[in-house]
Amino acid sequence: MAVTTSSTEPRPAREPGGGPPATDAAGLGRRRALLFVAPALLLVALFLVVPALWTLYLGATDYRLTGVPAVDPGFVGTGNLTHALGDGGFWSSLRLTLLFVLGSAVIGQSGLGFALAWWLRDRRGPLRVLLEALVMLAWILPSSVVAFLWIAFLDRDGGTLDTLLHTPGTAWLIDHPMLSIVVFNVWRGTAFSMMLYGAALGNVPRSHLETARLAGAGGLRQLWDVVLPRVRGHVVTNLLLISLWTFNDFTPFLITAGGPDHRSETLPVFIYNTALGGGRLGYGAAVSFLMLLVNLVVAVVYLRLPGRRAQGGGALDGPSRKRRAGAEEEVSA
């Protein structure tokens, strides 16, 4: 006796015009899917691709805001790039930018954000709510408002910091311009790192920390051998994002405008002063291209970090590993 079976699975949709069946999960087909993403692709092309190509074109010309080059710019090829690589102002701005990123993003925001997240992980109550609200407030305030507050805070004539430290007349923005904008950026951007690390620490199983504690590991050992390997991906992601944001941050211009004597002129401020302040749009566009290359190098370096094994991380080694194994047997018993 023959047994017949009928399949109840839906047949895949076919492409318009009798083409082969669609292979995507939604059954839309390639053409319909392209129609859905077409508006987003158009916006990306309009606001990202076209300006990028226009910047490359300007960087190959001597275009200026005034004079004959403003009407009839000449093609200079790689002349602007060669001039930038020999410009002491460019290298000084690049050095200050790397110092700004290292001090305010890598050490300041990431370190302080992790410390706050670690300290708040087990705490509840109004103190935690108040601290999180203050950190978040610094992050969500507009840049112009924040800049005005810090100018008033660091003012040499009746500034809040001079009043607190009893140092009247100290001009922090003139005597210590880089330190001022580094501390400002740490205060402003720590909230993102704190929230990201707080979410990452919440995913660390408490049983792992308890096992490490029973194995004789102290607080720092638990942090190094148990916590950091679990949140390593979050650390790299956070460092990548805040480093790129800080590298391209223009907010220091609102506080020091790159002064005094270019001592706080980071690369975005240098490009602004060159292209708009000095009217050399072609040269400024070429420096922007070099800045893009530096961003790509920074991103590639960070993206390669997760593929490397953490030195000394991931597990307790030596006697600590044996003690942990014995502790796990006791807990299971």
pLDDT in tens, 208-219: 777 877 777 777
Residue 16 predicted with pLDDT over 90: no
Residue 294 predicted with pLDDT over 70: yes
pLDDT tens for 53-68 read: 999 999 999 999 888 8
Q: What are the structure tokens assigned to 92, written together?
A: 């000084």
- % of the chain surpassing 90 pLDDT: 45
Confidence of residue 14 (pLDDT cuts 50, 70, 90): low
Name, in order, each residue with C-beta under 8 angstroms of 316's C-beta and a sequence gap of 6 or more. Answer: 212, 215, 217, 221, 225, 323, 324
Residue 168 predicted with pLDDT over 60: yes
Confidence of residue 27 (pLDDT cuts 50, 70, 90): low
Q: Which residue has the tokens 């311009």?
A: 177
Euclidean distance between CA atoms 158 and 178, whole angstroms? 21
Residues 152, 160 contacting (CB under 8 angstroms): yes
Mean pLDDT of 283-304: 92
Residue 224 predicted with pLDDT over 90: no
pLDDT at site 306: 59
Confidence of residue 13 (pLDDT cuts 50, 70, 90): low
pLDDT at site 202: 83
Mean pLDDT of 11-19: 53
pTM of the model: 0.79
pLDDT at site 18: 54
Euclidean distance between CA atoms 115 and 199, whole angstroms? 13
Residue 260 predicted with pLDDT over 80: yes
pLDDT at site 318: 45
pLDDT tens for 133-161 read: 888 888 888 888 989 999 999 998 888 99
| Mean of per-residue pLDDT scores for the chain | 83
Mean pLDDT of 158-172: 89
Residues 192, 109 contacting (CB under 8 angstroms): yes
Residue 131 predicted with pLDDT over 90: no
Q: What is residue 256's DSSP assignment?
A: T
pLDDT tens for 309-324 read: 443 344 444 444 444 4
- Highest-pLDDT range among 3-12, 301-310, 313-322: 301-310
Residue 73: name the closest of 89, 54, 88, 90 by CA. Answer: 54
